[in-house]
Amino acid sequence: MRIFRNSLWMIGALILQSTYGEKLSFFDVRPDLVLLTLAYVALSGGQIEGTLFGFLAGFLQDIYAPEQFGLNALAKSIVGFAVGYGHGSIVIEHVWTRGLILFGAVFGHDVLYFLFRDDWVSILRTGLPTALYTTLVGVGLSLLFFKATGRKIRGYAKKPF
């Protein structure tokens, strides 16, 4: 059930990103809705789910930009795996923790992506603003969502750190 729900979230994010992504841009910076969803999926599903969803979402994006075929799949698989580590081991109730994870995911993805493209300048010029904007959107959305539904965020500490 969770995989089905996460698949729907991911498909929705891919469609939104490719259709309305441009309209959400602010000073030419767009929030990465796919990574936002991937972070959510990886945190709720774990490393395997995060890696698989990351790979598939990246692969679908690669199809529409075949010049860098495989790069999105690679970067998103690694990000999905890394964020999935937080599943059941990090307390994500706190808004700053959530923001930090999301920021790390998006910035880490962009660092990997632009490093492979040998485009160091874009890491700071595009990666950093995108990570900040996506973090703001993600934190804002999750606050709104959980406030509206009154649900608790699924995140707990299994092991103390």
Partner 1 sequence: MQWIFDFFNLRRPIVVLSIAVILSLTMMGLRESTKFHLAKRVSITLFRGGQWFFSWPIYLSRLSGENRFLRQRNMELSIQVQKLREAELESVRLRNLLGFRPRERFSYLPAEVVAEDPDRIINAILINAGAKDGVREKMPVATAEGLVGKVFEVFPSTAIVQLLLDRNCRVSAVVQSNARVFGIVEWIGGERFRMAVPLRSGVRKGDRIVSSGMGGVFPKGLEIGVVEQIGPEKMGLLRDLIVRSSVRFSRLEEVFVLFREGYDEMRGNVGEGETKK
User: Where on the chain is the footprint of partner 1 (CB under 8 A)?
Assistant: 46-48, 51-52, 54-55, 58-60, 62-64, 66-71, 73-74, 77-78, 81, 84, 116
Distance CA 142, CA 28 (A): 24
Three-state secondary-structure class, residue 147: helix
Taking the complex as a whole, the smallest distance from the CB of residue 59 to partner 1 amounts, in Å, to 8
> Tokens at residue 115, please?
């490093």
Nearer to partner 1, 54 or 99 (CB): 54
- State the Cα torsion 120-125-128-132 to the nearest 10°: -160
Nearer to partner 1, 66 or 150 (CB): 66
Distance CA 134, CA 83 (A): 15
Distance CA 87, CA 42 (A): 7
Nearer to partner 1, 65 or 143 (CB): 65
> Tokens at residue 151, please?
């649900």
Taking the complex as a whole, the smallest distance from the CB of residue 17 to partner 1 amounts, in Å, to 16
Taking the complex as a whole, the smallest distance from the CB of residue 159 to partner 1 amounts, in Å, to 16
Taking the complex as a whole, the smallest distance from the CB of residue 72 to partner 1 amounts, in Å, to 8
